Chains A and B, each alone.
Chain A
Amino acid sequence: MNRSGFWFVVPFLVLYAAFLIAPMVIGLGASVTDEGITGHASFVGAANYAELFQDPAVWSSLGHTLVFTVVSTPAIVLVGLAMALLANRATPERWLYRLAFFAPYLLPVSVVVLIWSWLYQPGFGLINDLLTRLGLGEVGWLSTDGMAMTSIIITTVWWTAGFGFLLYLAALQEIPRQLYEASALDGATPFQQLRRITLPLLSRTHQLVIVLQVLASLKVFDQIYLLSGQGGVPGVRSIVQYIYESGFTRFRIGYASAISYVFFALIAAVALLHFRLTAPKASKGAER
């Protein structure tokens, strides 16, 4: 047996064990203690778990994460798809679309938030300035909870739609030209081509993009934390942010670990559900 492959994987395995497996095990241990940041810890059994199920902040922040996921995922997927369809057309300025649509995704989150918090400024911000020039009222983009969540989602769509766009663009270029030519000879309209050829042939990409996007949205933290002013506005706080706050600003590492594990279980359940929904189709394909 060739062992050289193993040695190539070792560096990865070391990091994987040190920064993923070990913290997970330590976290599971911490979740049944009252560990604080000074390292002192004593066993408390399931007390942290009992507490978190009665902590309204856990449920409200979990709700915000779910709202964010449910609203942002379809928006990001659809915008990414629309951009890919646009950029895939054989026009001379196609390179510009590709660049413009993908560029935001390359920005670090701090830059994105800086740009958008200026855009959202009341009074002199670009958007509100434009609205008042058009004779419309100002919108308090970040001043109420509901509007703040909307603004965060708009920012996220602008920022991350480029990722889905890239996957869709690659998939679109995999679709054989002949299909379009043949259907055109049969008199298919562009809309029929989109519905009957393009979208069905993108189905695997849809799955990939949606799953990746759901997972990315569930762990939302940075843009909410930064756009809401780093203070942890309870009205838009995500579950990951609440875990961070419990552990690092309230110094309760044990409690934060317990919330992490419940959230982990939830994500695992979503992943299993996804497996169940997609597995039968895959096995049917294999039988054929």
Chain B
Amino acid sequence: MNRRTFILAGAALATATGAGAACSGPAGLAYWNLFSGGDGARMTEMVGAIGARLDAVTLAWGTPYYTKLAMAAAGGRAPDLAVLHLSRLPGFAPLGLLDPFDDDLLAAHGLTPDRFPAAVWNRARHNGRTYAVPLDTHPLVLFYNTELCGKAGLLQDGKLKPVRGERQLLDAFGKAGLALAAARDVNPWRLFWTLYRQQNGQGLLDDGKALTALRLLQKIGATARFTDNNAAVALFGSGQAGFFWNGEWELPTFQEQHTPFDVAPFPQIYDRPAVHADSHSFVLPHQRDRDPARTARTVAAIAELVGQSLTWARGGHIPAYQPVAASPAYLNLLPQANYRSAAAEAELDPPVWFAGAASDLQSSAGATIGAVLGGTMSPEAALGELKATVVRLKNTPSPS
């Protein structure tokens, strides 16, 4: 670096700090989220519809978002409001990256535990304090093509006949064809966790129950083409597969493509109903100098946003805020209301720091289970690899 660059750098620094000072004024509340595409548009609509003024910043979904959010919170100058997958709370709250809510303040804005599903509210708490306000539950669902499934004789009164047990599931997939994301995706992990928790599998990891789930996934993989999610969406959207197994967030894609489809909750294969899900929630990232007045305005904004979750539900997500979830307007919103029961059966990732959306566990386990779906790894070998992954992650010192 020479002297001229130094002077230029100095000038740039001065401009940057000047600009920084100019935009950190008290005007709107800074709000970070990771919603792009349709969800992004709907979130923008919600932000526009509420009284509070939010300056929304959208960052790239997944690891890049969580990296930036954690950095901002570690520096103590985080935005006033941020979105967090509830499954990531165990990796954020214990580190002091989030500030807890004042329960009285939440109650004053009608954000009380009885107005949210217990399955997600319990996960919003850490050490007896509330760290998140859930906006939605977004579970895996079973999309089905009404024309193809009708021809295959799988419908009854225009709806999918109940599918119970391994045999019926494989039979249905065999008849109408299945598209699912298996290559380079965390979807295999979500399928696995669903099947594991349906057997009431505890912790990480019960060998017998994990093996049962992996063996079923191997059989399912044999009926499906091994593709990534884009290809799977294209296959189902263009009517080349009768079933598509992924999260409800793909719903708007098929509506736009005018695919003849409907949505069913994830079928119950084993002992109890359970389905992998996550929850977008609102959190207060850590601020070193938290201003109570701004925090109060932030909580008011959260209350207004969850009140708008009917808009959010158009994207497929199940509203967490019960006054909306139980409203006639939502119950008449189809096909969304068809799978609303999943909210009560939601199984988030295990509550450990290395799990959750865009986490190490999801990507490592997703790759292993994806190989089982692709037929390149036996269930037994995959179990060994999954256990090795879990041991490795458990042995990694948790960050401080």
What is A's interface to B at a CB cutoff of 8 Å?
Answer: 8, 11-12, 15-16, 34-41, 122, 143, 230-234, 245, 248-252
Q: How far is the CA of A139 from the CA of B292 in the complex (A)?
A: 57
Tell whether, in the assembled complex, residue B63 and residue A230 are in contact, meaning their CB atoms are under 8 Å apart. yes
Tell whether, in the assembled complex, residue B1 and residue A12 are in contact, meaning their CB atoms are under 8 Å apart. yes
* Best-buried of B66, B74, B183 by chain A (most CB within 10 Å): B74
Q: How far is the CA of A143 from the CA of B374 in the complex (A)?
A: 14
Q: How far is the CA of A38 from the CA of B398 in the complex (A)?
A: 13
Tell whether, in the assembled complex, residue B2 and residue A38 are in contact, meaning their CB atoms are under 8 Å apart. no
B71 in complex: contacting residue of A39, A40, A248, CB < 8 Å: A248
Q: How far is the CA of A248 from the CA of B75 in the complex (A)?
A: 13
In the complex, given contacts A143-B184, A249-B66, A250-B399, what are 20 additional A-B residue pairs having Cβ atoms less than 8 angstroms apart?
A12-B6, A15-B9, A34-B397, A35-B400, A37-B74, A38-B74, A143-B228, A230-B62, A230-B63, A230-B64, A231-B63, A231-B358, A231-B363, A248-B67, A248-B70, A248-B71, A250-B360, A251-B70, A251-B74, A252-B399
B228 CB to closest chain A CB (Å) equals: 7
A120 CB to closest chain B CB (Å) equals: 13
What is B's interface to A at a CB cutoff of 8 Å?
Answer: 1-3, 6-7, 9, 60, 62-64, 66-67, 70-71, 74, 95-97, 183-184, 228, 231, 358, 360, 363-364, 367, 396-397, 399-400
Q: Identify 30 residue pairs between A and B in the complex whose beta-carbon atoms are under 8 Å apart, listed by A's number.
A: A8-B3, A11-B7, A12-B1, A12-B2, A15-B1, A34-B397, A34-B400, A35-B400, A36-B95, A37-B70, A37-B74, A37-B95, A37-B399, A38-B95, A38-B96, A38-B97, A230-B60, A230-B64, A231-B62, A231-B63, A232-B63, A232-B363, A233-B184, A248-B67, A249-B63, A249-B67, A249-B70, A250-B396, A250-B399, A251-B95
Chain A residues closer than 8 Å to B62, beta-carbon distance: 230-231
Chain B residues closer than 8 Å to A248, beta-carbon distance: 67, 70-71
Taking A37-B74, A230-B60 as contacts, is the C-beta distance between A11 and B67 under 8 angstroms?
A: no
Q: How far is the CA of A147 from the CA of B7 in the complex (A)?
A: 44
Chain A residues closer than 8 Å to B70, beta-carbon distance: 37, 248-249, 251
Say what secondary structure dominates the interface of chain A. loop
Q: How far is the CA of A245 from the CA of B66 in the complex (A)?
A: 11
Q: How far is the CA of A233 from the CA of B363 in the complex (A)?
A: 9
Q: How far is the CA of A258 from the CA of B95 in the complex (A)?
A: 22
Chain A residues closer than 8 Å to B67, beta-carbon distance: 248-249
B200 CB to closest chain A CB (Å) equals: 31
Q: How far is the CA of A25 from the CA of B195 in the complex (A)?
A: 50
Q: How far is the CA of A142 from the CA of B258 in the complex (A)?
A: 30
Chain A residues closer than 8 Å to B2, beta-carbon distance: 12
Chain A residues closer than 8 Å to B97, beta-carbon distance: 38
Q: How far is the CA of A12 from the CA of B6 in the complex (A)?
A: 7
Tell whether, in the assembled complex, residue B6 and residue A36 are in contact, meaning their CB atoms are under 8 Å apart. no
Taking A34-B400, A38-B96 as contacts, is the C-beta distance between A15 and B6 under 8 angstroms?
A: yes
Chain B residues closer than 8 Å to A11, beta-carbon distance: 3, 6-7
Chain A residues closer than 8 Å to B184, beta-carbon distance: 143, 233
Chain A residues closer than 8 Å to B228, beta-carbon distance: 143
Q: How far is the CA of A231 from the CA of B184 in the complex (A)?
A: 10
Chain B residues closer than 8 Å to A230, beta-carbon distance: 60, 62-64
Tell whether, in the assembled complex, residue A234 and residue B367 are in contact, meaning their CB atoms are under 8 Å apart. yes
* Best-buried of A15, A38, A39, A245 by chain B (most CB within 10 Å): A38
Q: How far is the CA of A36 from the CA of B73 in the complex (A)?
A: 13
Q: How far is the CA of A203 from the CA of B6 in the complex (A)?
A: 35
Chain A residues closer than 8 Å to B400, beta-carbon distance: 34-36, 38, 40-41
Q: How far is the CA of A233 from the CA of B66 in the complex (A)?
A: 17
Chain B residues closer than 8 Å to A35, beta-carbon distance: 400
B74 in complex: contacting residue of A39, A41, A122, A252, CB < 8 Å: A39
Taking A234-B363, A234-B367 as contacts, is the C-beta distance between A37 and B71 under 8 angstroms?
A: yes
**Across chains A and B, which 8 residue pairs bring their CB atoms closest together, nearest first?**
A251-B399, A37-B74, A36-B400, A11-B6, A36-B399, A249-B67, A40-B400, A248-B67
A269 CB to closest chain B CB (Å) equals: 27
Chain B residues closer than 8 Å to A12, beta-carbon distance: 1-3, 6
Chain A residues closer than 8 Å to B95, beta-carbon distance: 36-38, 251
* Best-buried of A12, A35, A41, A250 by chain B (most CB within 10 Å): A250
Chain A residues closer than 8 Å to B64, beta-carbon distance: 230
Q: Can you name the residue of chain B whose Cβ is closest to the Cβ of A230?
A: B64
Q: Can you name the residue of chain A whose Cβ is closest to the Cβ of B231?
A: A122
Q: How far is the CA of A234 from the CA of B366 in the complex (A)?
A: 12
B243 CB to closest chain A CB (Å) equals: 22
Chain B residues closer than 8 Å to A38, beta-carbon distance: 74, 95-97, 400
* Best-buried of A35, A37, A39, A251 by chain B (most CB within 10 Å): A251
Chain B residues closer than 8 Å to A34, beta-carbon distance: 397, 400
B357 CB to closest chain A CB (Å) equals: 12
Q: How far is the CA of A245 from the CA of B397 in the complex (A)?
A: 15
Q: How far is the CA of A249 from the CA of B74 in the complex (A)?
A: 12
Q: How far is the CA of A169 from the CA of B210 in the complex (A)?
A: 62
Q: How far is the CA of A34 from the CA of B399 in the complex (A)?
A: 8
Q: Can you name the residue of chain A whose Cβ is closest to the Cβ of B186?
A: A231
Chain B residues closer than 8 Å to A250, beta-carbon distance: 360, 396, 399
Q: How far is the CA of A15 from the CA of B2 in the complex (A)?
A: 10
Chain B residues closer than 8 Å to A232, beta-carbon distance: 63, 363
Q: How far is the CA of A248 from the CA of B399 in the complex (A)?
A: 11
Q: How far is the CA of A35 from the CA of B62 in the complex (A)?
A: 24
Q: How far is the CA of A16 from the CA of B360 in the complex (A)?
A: 36
Q: How far is the CA of A34 from the CA of B231 in the complex (A)?
A: 43
A22 CB to closest chain B CB (Å) equals: 16
Q: How far is the CA of A249 from the CA of B9 in the complex (A)?
A: 29
Chain A residues closer than 8 Å to B60, beta-carbon distance: 230
